Copies of this chain bind each other. A is one copy, B any other.
Amino acid sequence: MLYEVFDILSLTKHERFSKHDRQAFDLVLETAEGIAKKFLRPFLKDGDRNPPQLLEGKVKVRPALHDYYHEFCRCGLLASTFDEESGGIQLPATVYAAADFIIGNGHNGFEMITSLSRGAAKLLDTFGSELVKETYLKKILAGEWAATMCLTEPHAGSALSNITTAAYPKEDGTFLIKGQKIFISGGDHDITENIVHLVLARISGAPPGVKGISLFAVPKKRVSPRDRILIDNDVRPLGLYHKMGQRSTPTMHLDFGGNADCIGHLVGSANTGLIGMFQMMNSFRLGVGLAGSYIATAAYYASLEYAHERQQGQRAGKKDLLEGQTSIINHPDVRRMLFLQKAIAEGTLSLIMQCNKYSDLESVSADDERERYRDLLELLTPVAKTYGAEMGTVSVNNGLQVLGGYGYTEDFILEQLARDIRVMSLYEGTTGIQSQALLARQIPAHDRKAFYLWIGEVKTVIVEAEAHKSLLFYSRWLDSEIKSLEETTGHMLAQKDVDPEIFLMDANLYMEFFGLVCIAWQWLKQGIFATSRLDKGDVGTDGTFYRSKLETMKFFFHYELRKTRGLQERLQDNTTLTIAGERELLI
């Protein structure tokens, strides 16, 4: 995917990435695999069975998480995508995503803790003052301090505009912070000596709503001005959530400034806190989509192995009791579930890679091109997040089903992965929120500019596919899906100014439709490379790899893409059944 489908080496033509070559990229992937093998995979079940403990106001996590965190930083992965001047190696985001895929595939819980520090560091690097960078960023990049993001409050979850955490300016330019935050991943632990919380809060007197929200760096411990040692900064863990999955990492309820002694630094300018937070959120959203893929991939290989080993029944029409049983992988229904798992896992990965490629191109392009890539990235981010989360969950559950009753027991990893992945459609904005973002914001923006840019991208792939006779059937199919999506989009947008509530009522179904077409686009893209290589006949032992890709592409079209038919019908049917009326009909 990296070197063929996304031709990642072409990025090295650009100044920013010019010091890299294939060998350098391979080394990054090998480093990730080394960490996964030694520090992650062996501890996947252990983390689930031994969740963090909150004892005497302090959170303890398993030693394995300490070891992983420090190794990840020691290897330079944390800072890898940063500018050289910030201590990074200017690694393309696409290559980092591939390494992240390997890490998360090894342990989806541990991955989150390093991702949080990395995302927070990126935010501080972009928006922080020199003082903030000097005080916090250096420590995070050195692996000495970890970081979190603190958005949600008990009464402000999806609706961030309602947050009430307060910041009172002090004379020295810092702020006194007061409020509570909930669902804080990595909100407390004993991995690092300190934790930097990036906290959304309102400066006293700020305007209501999202235009009055600022961002602060609030450490668990602050450096005392007098003797330069770390002293308590009045951040208290009030509780630790017990979760269905993702049990290896602490999710906290935190109190800031209960004793009126919690100091924070403003990050960026006052009342623009959401800009910085959304930069981080967008990168985390791609991370969640990627998580959908790497957890689904872990599940796929676990169930594939089981399906090869497990002997049960005979093939239909080939029954002979004296012949013994067959591997269940030979039963069409089991194969269907496995192909579905693979089609979702690798289709999602491809879409996430596509988004990261746009991000890399954005970072090296001049104005016009830059905007183009940014538009594409912003359009596709909620789609990649949601498809990975929702369909990743479907994929893992099919994996569990392959194992029959065994899949439901703790003897195999499937039941844990099913619990772990379930959170992805809630993290970083629920599926409902992502769908509203897509339909209400990204699609209509600038007269559907991004939408048509994206259609242009899909059409390019369709034209490329047409060069291969064997793909013509599929390229035409995708073309007709694009037409149907365009038509449906027009139909829905016509409602936008008539009644915004009706316009958005089925945003989730529109998202599902959009996601299916996106993944079909990515599979056709993969199919083109597979066909080219097979046609050239120089594939050697990789022939099976390419044939498997082609077969999975076909599977996606014949089995999954067909779901657009019902969605299109529903989305063009204006019957309103979900608009709240005077009389409550949900009883």
A positions within 8 Å CB-CB of B? 152, 155-159, 161-162, 182-183, 208-209, 241-245, 304, 307, 311-318, 321-322, 325, 329-336, 338-339, 342, 393, 397, 400-401, 404-405, 407-411, 415, 418-419, 422-423, 425-426, 430-432, 435-436, 440, 499-508, 544-545, 547-548, 551, 554-555, 558-559, 562-567, 569-570, 573, 575, 577-580, 583-587
Contacts and interface: CB of A to CB of B under 8 A. Distances in A.
Given A418-B244, A507-B333, A563-B566, A584 B544 contact: yes
A330 B586 CA distance: 11
A405 B152 contact: yes
A140 B313 CA distance: 35
Contacts of A544: 583-585, 587
- Identical chains bound together, number: 2
A508 B398 CA distance: 12
B317 A586 contact: no
Nearest to A508: B333
Contacts of A566: 562-566
15 contacts: A242-B410, A244-B410, A315-B501, A315-B580, A332-B506, A333-B505, A333-B508, A336-B506, A339-B578, A404-B430, A408-B422, A544-B587, A551-B585, A563-B563, A566-B566
Contacts of A423: 408
Contacts of A551: 577, 585
A551 B576 CA distance: 10
B405 A587 contact: no
Contacts of A183: 405
A209 B314 CA distance: 12
Closest 6 CB pairs between A and B? A317-B500, A562-B566, A332-B505, A244-B415, A159-B313, A242-B410
A65 to B, nearest CB: 20
A504 B332 contact: yes
Given A317-B500, A405-B152, A159 B325 contact: yes
B404 A304 contact: no
Contact of A321 (B161, B564, B575): B161
Given A312-B157, A425-B401, A558-B573, A208 B322 contact: yes
A546 to B, nearest CB: 10
Given A415-B244, A562-B566, A335 B580 contact: yes
Contacts of A333: 432, 435-436, 504-505, 507-508, 578
A404 B418 contact: no
A285 to B, nearest CB: 15
Nearest to A566: B562
Contacts of A587: 544-545, 548
- Residue of A401, A545, A567, A583 with highest tally of chain B CB at under 10 A: A401
B409 A426 contact: no
A401 B208 CA distance: 28
Contacts of A332: 501-502, 504-506, 578-580
A346 B206 CA distance: 49
A476 to B, nearest CB: 15
A473 to B, nearest CB: 10
Given A397-B422, A547-B583, A562-B566, 4 more contacts: A159-B313, A316-B501, A332-B501, A400-B422
Contacts of A562: 566-567, 569-570
A440 B422 CA distance: 34
Contact of A547 (B407, B503, B573, B585): B585
A504 B330 CA distance: 13
Given A325-B162, A405-B183, A586 B426 contact: no
A335 B578 contact: yes
B555 A577 contact: yes
B580 A329 contact: yes
A470 B248 CA distance: 55
Contact of A426 (B336, B405, B432, B583): B405
Nearest to A415: B244
A209 B507 CA distance: 53
A203 B415 CA distance: 37
A425 B573 CA distance: 32
A292 to B, nearest CB: 15
A454 B431 CA distance: 39
B547 A575 contact: no
A577 B565 contact: no
B243 A409 contact: yes
Contacts of A558: 570, 573, 575, 577
A148 B47 CA distance: 35
A405 B184 CA distance: 11
A570 B435 CA distance: 27
- Residue of A329, A332, A505, A507 with highest tally of chain B CB at under 10 A: A332
A558 B509 CA distance: 12
Contacts of A409: 241-244
A565 B565 CA distance: 6
Contacts of A182: 405
Given A242-B410, A418-B422, A548-B585, A570 B578 contact: no
Contacts of A506: 332, 336
A100 B450 CA distance: 54
